[in-house]
Amino acid sequence: MSRNRKLTILFLSITIIFSSLALTSCKKESKSSKNLIRFASVSWTGVTIKTELAIEILKSIGYEATNTMVSVPIVYQALDSNDADIFLGNWMPSMETIANKYFEKGNVIKYMVNMPGAKYTLAVPSYAYNAGLRDFSDIEKFADKLEYKIYGIEEGNDGNLIIENMIKNNMFNLGKFKLIPSSETGMLAEMQSFMRTGKWGVFLGWSPHSMNEILDMKYLSGSKADTFGENDGTATIYTNIRKGFDKEHPNVALFLKNLKFPVPMMNQIMTILHKNKDMKPKEAGILWLKKNPGTYREWLKDVKTYDGKPALPVFEEHIKTI
pLDDT at 18 over 80: no
Radius of gyration of the chain (CA): 22
Percent of the chain with pLDDT strictly greater than 90: 73
> Can you tell me the distance from the alpha carbon of 135 to that of 124, in angstroms, rounded to the nearest whole number?
10
Listed residues 234, 268, 299: the one ending a domain = 234
Residues 6+ apart with CB under 8 A from 67: 39, 40, 41, 51, 52, 55
Is position 12 within any domain? yes
Is position 114 within any domain? no
- Residue 94 and residue 160 in one domain: no
My answer on whether omega of the bond before 262 falls inside 30° of 0, hence cis, is no
- Residue 154 and residue 209 in one domain: yes
pLDDT at 114 over 60: yes
- Residue 225 and residue 264 in one domain: no
Contact 23, 74 (CB under 8 A): yes
Reported pTM: 0.75
Is position 165 within any domain? yes
Which DSSP state fits 106? Answer: T
Listed residues 217, 234, 251: the one ending a domain = 234
Terminal Cα-to-Cα distance of the chain (whole angstroms)? 52
Is position 113 within any domain? no
Q: Which of 167, 163, 205, 164 is nearest to 184 (CA)?
A: 205
Q: How many residues does the chain have?
A: 322
Which DSSP state fits 172? Answer: G
Listed residues 185, 204, 234: the one ending a domain = 234
Q: Which of 304, 251, 253 is nearest to 61 (CA)?
A: 304
pLDDT at 96 over 90: no
Question: What values do phi and psi take at 275, rounded to 5?
Answer: -85, -15
Neighbours of 218 (CB within 10 A): 17
CATH code of the domain containing 299 = 3.40.190.10
pLDDT tens for residues 260-303? 999 999 999 999 998 998 999 999 999 999 999 999 999 999 99
- Residue 138 and residue 72 in one domain: no
Q: What average pLDDT does the segment 219-228 reach?
A: 92
**What's the angle, vertex CA 149, arms to CA 146 and CA 151, rounded to 5?**
110
> Can you tell me the distance from the alpha carbon of 209 to that of 186, in angstroms, rounded to the nearest whole number?
15
- Residue 252 and residue 230 in one domain: no
Contact 86, 256 (CB under 8 A): yes
Quick one: pLDDT at residue 126? 98
- Residue 250 and residue 102 in one domain: yes
Is position 112 within any domain? no
Q: State the average pLDDT for the chain.
A: 90
Owning domain of residue 8: 3-107+243-319
- Residue 275 and residue 193 in one domain: no
Is position 249 within any domain? yes
**Sign of the four-CA dihedral 125, 129, 134, 138:** negative
Number of domains in the chain: 2
Is position 200 within any domain? yes
- Residue 80 and residue 137 in one domain: no
- Residue 87 and residue 147 in one domain: no
- Residue 78 and residue 139 in one domain: no
pLDDT tens for residues 145-166? 999 999 998 887 678 888 999 9
Quick one: pLDDT at residue 274? 87
Phi and psi based region of residue 155 (left: phi greater than 0; alpha: psi -120 to 50; beta: remaining) = beta
> Can you tell me the distance from the alpha carbon of 212 to that of 262, in angstroms, rounded to the nearest whole number?
13
- Residue 247 and residue 304 in one domain: yes
- Residue 103 and residue 247 in one domain: yes
